[in-house]
Amino acid sequence: MADIISIATSSPAYAHKQEDILQYMQKAYQLNAEEKRKLAFLYHHSGIETRHSVIPDYGNNVSESKFLPGNDYDPFPSIDQRMKLYKSKACAISIEAIKKCINTHIAAAQITHLISISCTGMSAPGLDLEIMEQMGLSPTIFRTSINFMGCYAAIHGMKLAKFICDTEPDAKVVMVATELCTLHFQKEYTLENASSSLLFADGAAAVLISNVITSPKAVQIESFHSQVAFEGKKDMAWEISSKGFLMTLSSYIPQLIQQDIEVLISGALQKQGLTHQEIPFWCIHPGGKKIVDVIEQKLSLTPSQTHFARKILAENGNMSSPTILFVLKEIMDSSIKAGEKIFGIAFGPGLTMETFLCRKK
């Protein structure tokens, strides 16, 4: 059985208070008084206090922007400019997370497999090769990339890492999920754009998975389960355009999750002969405050069981794929006891719902 040995996270240097981002957005969108009040209401009920970005603009006056347009006459960043900034920033926070993750466990040269995850930037040679070169990893290392799976991609990456460990007992797999969501701000004021600019942030998380390394914090991966609700395929989407990556995030998503969550979780737990009442720790991807609220209500969870998800949402916002790993790290660093179960769940385009079950060693 594959074990999660360690998780480490990394955030960009610019930490923006949600209130400062609100003021920036109200000016950037050129809203009237009524629209400003509506946007302020959404921000104040978002459950988010701080978000990180590789861009300093969100904490500045619009006229002082460094990357995004400072006024109506400045050209909006093209997809080329956004990808150039991604390429210059993504590798550094990825390596920072990896180094913290493997520290005291293995040397970089001992990594046998590298899985890189992202849906906010792409190039070839890509992030995986940049990490290999800058960290001096073996040129014969097994590597693969998971792209455009969105917020549930890290669970898919964990699944792949477990497959590797199940077939190669000496494998030492490093998975890194890195997203720079804030590169893709769109100035057109639509409900989708406003929701994205309210919620998303930048960050990276790295995971070390192995059969042969021990750690007092290790958790054993037991099973996975996924389900697609095709009726929601238009409600969460991520498409490339000449203006950047366009995010569709419908307000209907919490309702879709509410409809399907019980069936999804029952199917996942039946594999292990469990009920949700037997799970003390819930690793919920905080896709938004309403999503956490719906899951808590539908499954009759206690505030203490959704605490970890709400804490990460408040301190970081939604970073897409790394977010579930931020939550899992909080749980692994908590007072979890040997034998206790962790149930993880994340949502992404499709609408895809992906889960995992772990047990504290």
Extended strands (E) in the chain: 3-10, 14-17, 50-53, 113-118, 142-147, 172-180, 202-210, 219-228, 236-241, 244-249, 281-284, 341-348, 352-360
- CATH, domain range 219-360: 3.40.47.10
Burial of 147 (0-12, 13-18, 19+ CB in 10 A): middle
Residue-level pLDDT at 224: 95
Tokens 């930048």 sit at which residue?
202
Domain-by-domain residue ranges, the chain? 219-360
Alpha helices in 179-322, H assignment, sequence order: 191-199, 253-270, 289-298, 307-316
Residue 350 has what pLDDT?
77
Closest CA to 349 of 253, 224, 285, 242: 253
Asked if residue 312 has pLDDT above 90, the reply is yes
Q: Which carries the bigger pLDDT value, residue 324 or residue 76?
A: 324
Share of the chain above pLDDT 70, in %: 96
152 Cα distance to chain centroid: 7
Task: Using CA atoms of 56, 57, 61, 65 in order, give the dihedral in degrees to the nearest 10.
Answer: 110
- Spatial contact of 232 and 252, defined as CB atoms under 8 Å apart: yes
Per-residue pLDDT for 254 more than 70?
yes
Mean pLDDT of 147-155: 94
**pLDDT value of position 201:** 97
Question: Can you list the alpha helix ranges (DSSP code H) found in 126-236?
Answer: 127-135, 153-167, 191-199
For residue 70, pLDDT over 70 is answered with no
- Whole-number CA gyration radius for the chain: 20
What is d(CA 54, CA 152) in angstroms, rounded to the nearest whole number? 22
Q: Is the pLDDT of residue 87 over 90?
A: yes
C-alpha atoms less than 13 angstroms from C-alpha of 291 in its C-beta half-sphere: 24
- Percentage above 90 pLDDT, the chain: 71
Reported as a pLDDT band with limits 50, 70 and 90, residue 46 is: very high
Mean pLDDT for 138-164 is: 96
Q: How far apart are CA 44 and CA 17, in angstroms?
A: 12
Q: What is the pLDDT of residue 203?
A: 98
Backbone angles phi, psi at 185, to 5 degrees: -55, 135
Overall average pLDDT of the 260-273 stretch: 84
Given this model, what pLDDT does residue 75 score?
65
Listed range (10-24, 240-254, 339-353) with the worst mean pLDDT: 240-254
**Across 144-167, average pLDDT:** 96
For tokens 């619009």, what's the residue?
62
The whole-chain average pLDDT of the chain stands at 91
What pLDDT sits at residue 21? Answer: 95
pLDDT at 8: 98
Name the one residue in this structure whose structure tokens are 């990808």: 83
20, 26, 27, 33 alpha-carbon torsion, rounded to 10°: -130
Q: Residues 29-39: what's their mean pLDDT?
A: 94
Q: For the chain, how far is it from start to end, CA to CA, in angstroms?
A: 11
- Residue 74, classed as helix, strand or coil, is coil
- pLDDT of 250: 65
